[in-house]
Structure 1
């Protein structure tokens, strides 16, 4: 366990556990991921990464910190997508999916898929369970719908009250774990994560020798459309269905 590592899961079989990806395949690779958006700090993060040639992964909700259909949020999400960052599913409203019925879970996936198709023209391929909590029926449904399940090996703990200094200290510690591969959990919903923690993390990780890579590169894939999404088409024009 590395500093800040935290996720919850009920008891799963060995095969089910193997279906959950928690780290990169290759040593030296480090993938930065961001949950709970889209929110007002998203482009502060995406622009900072983009200016340095780094691709992040944003696991988004439909109606959590903000409604995904809000004008400002739509513009931010489209901007992030156009920069080539990965957009993944984090459910519609961030429930603990292990406690949902199968019908309820399908709805959480459906509603977000509909929104991302309208706004970006995509069907996501990567899914992160809220709280890292997942049950066997969730895994079966996700696999049947073509998703890859992504958790993490390192947590900055920004979502559970870590100060920026504490999150930075976690990054200092994980940098010392080089060259062990890592998938890092951060949250785009905190201004200090965007303005303080991520710039610091990038500097300390690169200094240690880590390659900051996209999630698909982290998994040993490429950045082709089929590596990133299940489908890519044209987004829709805004109409009166764009509401939460």
Structure 2
């Protein structure tokens, strides 16, 4: 559990026109692609940020606060993660929630769902002094009615995707070409499609091969890569809440 008190008293206002408590699968604007990375931060996140920076592109990162595969919480100040998240935020990348420990929300019950979301909020507060309003459910499970009700109660935009690169199945020097092919096959050649892309910043070959390939396709086909918030026409001020506010 992160340090500090839970944020039960934080006002959960709902600014902007993007729906809360509903699954969103695609961008609102033709010609835009949102690259949305799950499960990090990891040792490959810095590599990915550097690649995005070289192209002056902002990504969206759905953060798992206490990923068992990583071993240390994002708010552990003795680790590299708080500094990395602050750098990402300062550069304009969008940081969002992917729960505390990446559990299947439809299987754990309401109290545990609230804990998964609340603990991640506390960790975000401890690191950034902000709490995200955007989340992506682990394993892409959005259709459970009770889970959607809980996420709506907490005031979250539920972000899904309409392009799944399946990079989690192809993290290998040769196999990753399958994910490149999926992306290239899904993105229309006319430059007028609208896509939210599922990709992960915890895989070596996503960082080394898939991301550069996606960026080439985006440029060659005339798309603009943006954050999820931007592709939904949501102002940056609406992407986060102030945990210091009180009802």
What is the TM-score when the length of structure 2 is the normalising length?
0.82
What is the distance in 2 between the residues matched to 1:194 and 1:232? 33
Q: Residues 223-242 of structure 1 correspond to what in structure 2 (within 5 A)? A: 223=236, 225=237, 227-231=238-242
What is the distance in 1 between the residues matched to 2:125 and 2:95? 12
Aligned to 1:96: 104
Aligned to 2:32: 29
What is the distance in 2 between the residues matched to 1:207 and 1:99? 42
Aligned to 2:164: 155
The DSSP-based 3-state class of the residue aligned with 2:212 is helix
Asked if residue 121 in structure 1 is aligned to residue 129 in structure 2, the reply is yes
- Tell me the CA shift for residue 161 of structure 1: 3.1
What is the distance in 2 between the residues matched to 1:176 and 1:110? 39
Q: Deviations over 1:109-154 (max 9, x none)?
A: 1111111100111111101000011311111111111110001000
Bigger shift: residues 50-59 or 23-32: 50-59
The DSSP-based 3-state class of the residue aligned with 1:71 is coil
Gaps of 5+ in 2: 1-18
Aligned to 2:200: 187
What is the distance in 2 between the residues matched to 1:197 and 1:232? 36
- Tell me the CA shift for residue 175 of structure 1: 3.0
Name which of 86, 94, 116 aligns with 1:86. 94
Aligned to 1:146: 155
The DSSP-based 3-state class of the residue aligned with 2:168 is helix
Asked if residue 173 in structure 1 is aligned to residue 185 in structure 2, the reply is yes
CA contact (8 A) 2:35 2:198 kept: yes
- Tell me the CA shift for residue 187 of structure 1: 0.5
What is the distance in 2 between the residues matched to 1:99 and 1:171? 31
What is the distance in 2 between the residues matched to 1:52 and 1:230? 29
Q: Deviations over 1:147-187 (max 9, x none)?
A: 10001000110112362211111122123354220000100
Q: Point out the structure with the larger helix share.
A: 1
Aligned to 2:59: 56
The DSSP-based 3-state class of the residue aligned with 2:131 is strand
What is the distance in 2 between the residues matched to 1:217 and 1:62? 24
- Tell me the CA shift for residue 232 of structure 1: 6.8
What is the TM-score when the length of structure 1 is the normalising length?
0.83
